[in-house]
């Protein structure tokens, strides 16, 4: 099967087809909702809750490392998606719907529960299964979800503090607001200035 | 002297006319715009991204990738196997690139002449163009004493093994050696297009429109007539309803690989199905290693050393060259495929971690025609880049050689970016040969997007589009193959060379 975005869509349609032949009750079973702390811009409450559960398994609280929820990773991703092409937000929503869907879970992970309704150990197993799945579209989905969650999480000062990184240096404002032409030349020498 | 005109300043539809309308203000578009205004031509530049200065570059990764990169930093191949980094602002990718500069290798120019029918792009005729851009952009050797710890690993490992390694040349002046080139230079040290050729073009009377995205080139018969564009709201990235129409005697696509071919395809210009074909990406894989002493891979000029030991691996093999990336935490975290406690453990090593990249030289083997750009339903480019067996062989070899390099440089643990996380002791790196390699088996990426409007096929050796008299392509999309070196200086020099051809097109 070619590994394209279209495959994900097809895969989504297959899920939808299964719902139509009688899986509705199973597929809608038990989403555990989480309340966003900012108004949602692109995701549905169900998609947001699924994303929150995924983000917390990708970045759980660990020692001095905060959880993804603590640093508002799901809200950050929802906001990012509002600045991307509408098709991208739709694709993410579809991927989240599939991960949450208990029927799809039964097909691929032998779990008859929603993702949000599963135990942390099961959630980890689902994510690990996606990561090395023989179905390329599932690996693609893992890659997309992990990338969004990790990028949002590790750019937060509370998260990166555990790496030894102290955040960017402050050079002051050596430029001026006007674009391009009025910007003064680079300083001739700074303490670390180089050729 | 005029300034860049930003999207929010328009209150109604705009109609412009000019001698030359250039779409894209990056490495190709900027050099060309400056050259044309110097010849007294009336130039309009349309740039989809925003206009930014050092005042906007606060070095915060959480904002920078979504502001200064295509696709808000999440652009990728169709299957998400390769993340594709590409700039999107006034200055294009040069605003956020890592400043490494090389002249085009002679063997590549010879290959283009022999296999792609490219004429007049040999080392002798390119020399004056290289010299001119090197002077304007202050391209010079970066002193070894300023090389950061991450790049020193490359020098140390290679010297230990007897492999070729060298320090790099960079386009900087007054560089603070901070390490943040990839999120915009805060001290105006980088001699990117928004600091050099674009101010030159403005001084020459060019009108540069930021936040304006070209939808299509309009044309009739063999003549381009202009460009239809729309103003984008900078925050949402979506059209704000204001349209821009530019009537031009000559139109130039300098929108870069991926987006340039997409512009042509949206315009109904496919050069007999050739537009979008032969897209090259210098496919990149990476190896990370932990050292006893701090590396702080986020600090210091991101790229200042390289090894070309394996760039030419002989007949039938794909070569690769070794460089380093800057690793601020966000960029570093997108590499591995670990999650949960494993990921936290990985990141706790970051301060002592060095990462090397192997960039594979695609498009040189006869059977290697790279990837293909097509249009998505909403008009954006989609890149299908297959990972073929000869590339997988090179990626495997590159992993093993980079691991060897790290061991020789004193690493205590070697990690790859595989789906199943690997962390190996130095004496266990032989097992790398047994791991799976290829699409989605491990993380791969590219910051060098090339081809798709190749010279010799889609454009002739004067950059003129095959089916038109007054349409040109001047950017990295004209490369018939990848280069085996970082591409920016080749694009600057080709754009300078193209200036006279485009100017001739006006008359
Ligand atoms: C993170 C990073 C690091 C890099 N480091 C190096 C390095 O160290 N050395 C090196 O040699 N190279 C480096 N590169 C690559 C190099 O910068 C690019 O190859 C080069 O800038 C490409 O030039 P270009 O003119 O083809 O396109 P670009 O410089 O990308 O410019 C194209 C411009 O066109 C605009 N555009 C696209 N479509 C439209 C449209 N429809 N309407 C209006 N505008 C449009 C884009 O927004 C963009 O600003 C790096 C790239 C990245 C992303």
| Residue of B476, B489, B316, B309 lying closest to B401 (CA atoms) | B309
What's the CA gap between B495 and B87, in Å, rounded?
18
Test A179 with B90 for CB contact under 8 angstroms: yes
Pocket test for ligand 1, best of B28, B70, B87, B218 (most atoms within 8 A of CB): B87
Number of domains in chain A: 1
Strands B279-280 and B450-451: antiparallel
In a domain, A177, yes or no: no
* 3-state secondary structure labels for all residues of B114-164: HHHCCCCCCHHHHHHHHHHHHHHCCEEECCHHHCCHHHHHHHHHHHHHCCC
Which pairs from B104-108 meet CB under 8 Å and 24+ separation? B104/B483, B104/B485, B104/B489, B104/B490, B104/B493, B105/B483, B105/B484, B105/B485, B107/B312, B107/B484, B108/B481, B108/B483, B108/B484
CATH code of B144-170+284-361+388-443, in short, is 3.30.410
In a domain, A58, yes or no: yes
pLDDT digits over A42-92, tens only? 999 999 999 999 999 999 999 999 999 999 999 999 999 999 999 999 999
In a domain, A83, yes or no: yes
Test B189 with A186 for CB contact under 8 angstroms: yes
Candidate from A57, A60, A177 with C-beta closest to B55: A177
In a domain, A22, yes or no: no
**Chain B residues with CB-CB distance to A87 below 8 A:** 376-378, 380
In a domain, A3, yes or no: no
In a domain, A27, yes or no: no
**Chain A residues with CB-CB distance to B65 below 8 A:** 151
What is the pLDDT tens value at each position of chain B, 507 positions in all? 468 999 999 999 999 999 999 999 999 999 999 999 999 999 999 999 999 988 899 999 999 999 999 999 999 999 999 999 999 999 999 999 999 999 999 999 999 999 999 999 999 999 999 999 999 999 999 999 999 999 999 999 999 999 999 999 999 999 999 999 999 999 999 999 999 999 999 999 999 999 999 999 999 999 999 999 999 999 999 999 999 999 999 999 999 999 999 999 999 999 999 999 999 999 999 999 999 999 999 999 999 999 999 999 999 999 999 999 999 999 999 999 999 999 999 999 999 999 999 999 999 999 999 999 999 999 999 999 999 999 999 999 999 999 999 999 999 999 999 998 899 999 999 999 999 999 999 999 999 999 999 999 999 999 999 989 999 999 999 999 999 999 999 999 999 999 999 999 998
A128 is in which domain, residue-wise? 32-161
Contact in structure between B347 and B292 (CB atoms under 8 Å) = no
Test A146 with B337 for CB contact under 8 angstroms: yes
Q: What is the position in ligand 1's atom list of the atom closest to the CA of B489?
A: 11
What's the CA gap between A136 and A114, in Å, rounded?
22
What's the CA gap between A123 and A57, in Å, rounded?
7
**Residue A158 near chain B (CB below 8 Å):** no
Architecture of the domain delimited by B7-138+178-274+452-504: 3-Layer(bba) Sandwich (3.50)
Whole-Å CA distances, B94 to A23, B24, B182, B189, B243: 52, 12, 9, 12, 27
Contact in structure between B462 and B501 (CB atoms under 8 Å) = yes
Contact in structure between B168 and B81 (CB atoms under 8 Å) = no
Test B80 with A127 for CB contact under 8 angstroms: no
The rounded Å distance from CA B502 to ligand 1 centre is 21
Contact in structure between B229 and B212 (CB atoms under 8 Å) = yes
Contact in structure between B141 and B167 (CB atoms under 8 Å) = yes
In a domain, A192, yes or no: no
* ipTM for the predicted complex: 0.95
Mutate to test the interface with B, among A186, A191, A192 (most CBs of B within 10 A): A186
**Residue A20 near chain B (CB below 8 Å):** no
Q: Is the dihedral of CA B178, B179, B181, B182 positive or negative?
A: negative
**Chain A residues with CB-CB distance to B235 below 8 A:** 83
Question: Domain locations in chain B?
Answer: 7-138+178-274+452-504, 144-170+284-361+388-443
């Amino acid at each position: 099967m070619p590994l394209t975005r279209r495959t994900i869509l097809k895969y989504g349609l297959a899920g939808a087809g299964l719902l139509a032949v009688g899986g509705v009750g199973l597929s809608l079973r038990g989403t555990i909702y989480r309340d966003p702390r900012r108004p949602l811009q692109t995701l549905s409450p169900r998609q947001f809750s699924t994303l929150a559960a995924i983000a917390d398994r990708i970045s759980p609280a660990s020692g001095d490392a905060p959880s993804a929820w603590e640093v508002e990773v799901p809200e950050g991703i929802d906001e990012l998606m509002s600045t991307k092409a509408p098709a991208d937000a739709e694709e993410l929503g579809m991927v989240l719907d599939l991960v949450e869907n208990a029927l799809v879970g039964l097909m691929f992970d032998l779990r008859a529960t929603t993702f949000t309704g599963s135990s942390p150990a099961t959630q980890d197993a689902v994510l690990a299964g996606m990561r090395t799945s023989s179905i390329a579209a599932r690996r693609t989905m893992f890659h997309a979800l992990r990338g969004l969650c990790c990028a949002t999480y590790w750019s937060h000062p509370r998260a990166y503090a555990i790496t030894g990184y102290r955040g960017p240096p402050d050079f002051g404002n050596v430029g001026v607001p006007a674009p391009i032409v009025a910007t003064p030349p680079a300083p001739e020498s700074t303490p670390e200035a180089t050729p | 002297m005029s300034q860049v005109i930003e999207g929010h300043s328009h209150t109604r539809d705009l109609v412009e006319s000019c001698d030359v309308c250039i779409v894209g203000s990056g490495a190709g578009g900027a050099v060309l715009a400056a050259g044309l205004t110097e010849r007294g031509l009336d130039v309009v530049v349309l740039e989809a991204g925003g206009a930014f200065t050092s005042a906007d570059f606060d070095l915060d990764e959480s904002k920078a990738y979504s502001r200064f990169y295509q696709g808000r930093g999440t652009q990728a191949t169709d299957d998400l196997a390769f993340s594709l980094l590409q700039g999107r602002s006034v200055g294009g990718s040069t605003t956020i690139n890592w400043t490494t500069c090389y002249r085009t290798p002679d063997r590549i120019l010879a290959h283009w002449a022999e296999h792609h029918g490219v004429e007049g792009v040999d080392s002798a005729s390119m020399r004056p163009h290289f010299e001119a851009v090197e002077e304007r952009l202050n391209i010079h050797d970066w002193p070894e004493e300023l090389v950061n710890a991450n790049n020193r690993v490359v020098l140390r490992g290679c010297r230990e093994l007897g492999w070729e390694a060298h320090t790099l040349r960079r386009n900087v002046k007054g560089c603070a050696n901070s390490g943040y080139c990839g999120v915009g230079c805060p001290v105006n040290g980088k001699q990117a297009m928004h600091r050099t050729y674009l101010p030159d073009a403005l001084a020459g009377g060019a009108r540069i429109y930021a936040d304006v995205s070209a939808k299509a080139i309009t044309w009739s018969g063999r003549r381009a007539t202009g460009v239809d564009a729309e103003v984008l709201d900078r925050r949402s990235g979506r059209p704000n309803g204001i349209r821009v129409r530019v009537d031009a005697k000559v139109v130039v696509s300098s929108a870069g690989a991926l987006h340039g071919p997409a512009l042509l395809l949206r315009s109904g210009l496919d050069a007999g199905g050739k537009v979008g074909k032969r897209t090259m990406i210098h496919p990149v894989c990476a190896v990370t290693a932990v050292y006893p002493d701090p590396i702080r891979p986020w600090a210091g000029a991101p790229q200042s050393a390289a090894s070309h030991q394996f760039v030419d691996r002989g007949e039938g093999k794909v070569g690769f060259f070794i460089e380093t990336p800057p690793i601020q935490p966000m960029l570093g975290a997108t590499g591995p495929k670990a999650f949960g406690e494993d990921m936290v453990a990985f990141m706790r090593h970051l301060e002592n971690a060095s990462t090397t990249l192997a960039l594979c030289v695609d498009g040189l083997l006869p059977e290697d025609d790279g990837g293909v750009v097509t249009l998505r339903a909403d008009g954006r480019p989609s890149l299908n880049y297959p990972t073929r067996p000869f590339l997988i062989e090179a990626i495997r070899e590159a992993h093993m050689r980079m691991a060897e390099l790290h061991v020789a440089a004193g690493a205590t643990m070697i990690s790859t970016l595989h789906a199943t996380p690997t962390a190996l002791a130095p004496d266990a790196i032989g097992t790398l040969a047994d791991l799976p390699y290829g699409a989605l088996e491990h993380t791969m990426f590219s910051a060098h997007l090339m081809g798709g409007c190749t010279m010799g096929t889609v454009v002739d050796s004067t950059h003129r589009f095959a089916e038109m008299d007054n349409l040109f392509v001047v950017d990295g999309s004209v490369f018939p193959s990848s280069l085996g070196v970082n591409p920016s200086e080749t694009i600057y020099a080709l754009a300078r060379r193209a200036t006279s051809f485009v100017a001739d097109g006006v008359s």
